Amino acid sequence: MPARADTALKDGPIAILGAGSLGRLWAGYLPAGHAVFFSHPPRPVSGPIHYRLKHPDGAESICQIPVITLTGARPYLLLVTTKAGDTVDALERALPSLPTQLPIILFQNGLGCQQAVAGRWPDRPVLAASTTEGANRPEEELLVHAGRGQTWLGALTDSGRYCVAAAVAQLQSSGLAIEAEPDIHQRLWDKLVVNSGINAFTTILDCPNGDILVDPFFLEHIDDLSEEIAQVMATETRRPLSAEEVRKRIYTVATSTAENTSSMRSDRQRGRSTEIDVINGYIVERGKAAGIATPVNQMLVRRVKDLTE
């Protein structure tokens, strides 16, 4: 792979699978003409996707991103910005048409989906991103970049390791902050800790992130939940957190994002399936594998599913 950002077009565009909030964020920040969306089969290609991108400072820019079919496509990178539950299926459809050396970058929250993709395509260069960027679509043709964050990129498969530096250089042309992460599994776990302590509570209580901190239901369960997360994390990562550190991180992020609607609450409000299986559900699964009881995580999974399925 070439290492310089200005070689993108010579070597093909950056293709994005999943033209939702995060896909539109990357497409909107990449230099004009560098990003394309893959069409979403079986939906027909209906010309470019137009939208307004509202930046964190309130300024707006207009985006027009081409939509291409998979047939004959030779992209330079593939950004996968589908929801976790759609990702393997989306790649099953897309990858047979795409070159085997194409770097695939997964942007899903939670864990489980990343291992499923790397396990299904071990010989392809598969990378994962963990991002604190926040984007949402209050209207069909408006993408709001809620606040500037940071993205870390690391390899999930052996061949992915050789692509990290060039992919980072390429994505830096967006102006969004992104850097290589040698231990992406740890980064994904660090984010999982926070999502496991906030998303389900905001969905069950139907409240913004900050409001959970004074709710009796959250206060009843947060200590045991933090203990479960810490115990499972200790079996899974090189830099585990104590239960107290888990609890502190959950409080810190719920406080700093107090007014936000979490992605899970937003999915429920829109009648979409949630990512509970790759958040608290993943902790339940890894707990089972390690012989660690996770009753609070199980209860949260059940309560969210009762509301959304």
- Applying CB under 6 A, the residues found at the interface with ligand NAD are 17-23, 40, 81-84, 86, 90, 93, 107-109, 131, 133-135, 263, 275
Question: Closest Cα partner for 308 from 222, 200, 195, 198?
Answer: 200
User: Given the complex with ligand KPL, which of 36 and 200 has the nearer CB atom?
Assistant: 200
| Binding partner selected for residue 17 from ligand KPL, ligand NAD, none, CB under the kind-specific 5 to 8 Å limit | ligand NAD
The residue with tokens 């759609």 is: 86
Measure the CA–CA gap between 8 and 12, rounded to whole angstroms. Answer: 6
| Site membership for ligand KPL, residue 199 (CB under 6 A) | yes
**DSSP bridge partners of 67:** 37
Question: Could you tell me which stretch among 66-74, 157-165, 195-203, 281-289 binds ligand KPL (CB under 6 A)?
Answer: 195-203
CB of 263 to ligand NAD, least distance (A): 6
| Binding partner selected for residue 215 from ligand NAD, ligand KPL, none, CB under the kind-specific 5 to 8 Å limit | none
User: Given the complex with ligand NAD, which of 275 and 277 has the nearer CB atom?
Assistant: 275
Distances (CA, A) of 304 to 50, 182, 209, 309: 34, 34, 16, 8
Return the C-alpha torsion angle 31, 34, 35, 38, nearest 10.
Answer: 170
User: Given the complex with ligand NAD, which of 131 and 231 has the nearer CB atom?
Assistant: 131
| Binding partner selected for residue 20 from ligand NAD, ligand KPL, none, CB under the kind-specific 5 to 8 Å limit | ligand NAD
| Site membership for ligand KPL, residue 198 (CB under 6 A) | yes
Among 81, 195, 231, 280, binds ligand KPL (CB under 6 A): 195
Query: Catalytic one among 10, 54, 191, 248?
Result: 191
Per-residue binding letters, 248-287, with ligand KPL (x by CB under 6 A)? -----x---x--x-xx------------------------
**DSSP bridge partners of 126:** 104
54 is catalytic: no
Measure the CA–CA gap between 196 and 194, rounded to whole angstroms. Answer: 5
Question: Closest Cα partner for 243 from 305, 302, 292, 183?
Answer: 292
Give residues with Cβ within 8 angstroms of 239, minimum separation 6.
186
With H, G, I as helix, E, B as strand and everything else as coil, classify residue 78: strand
Measure the CA–CA gap between 152 and 182, rounded to whole angstroms. Answer: 9
What are the residue numbers of the active site?
191
Residues in contact with ligand KPL by the rule CB under 6 A: 109, 194-195, 198-199, 209, 253, 257, 260, 262-263
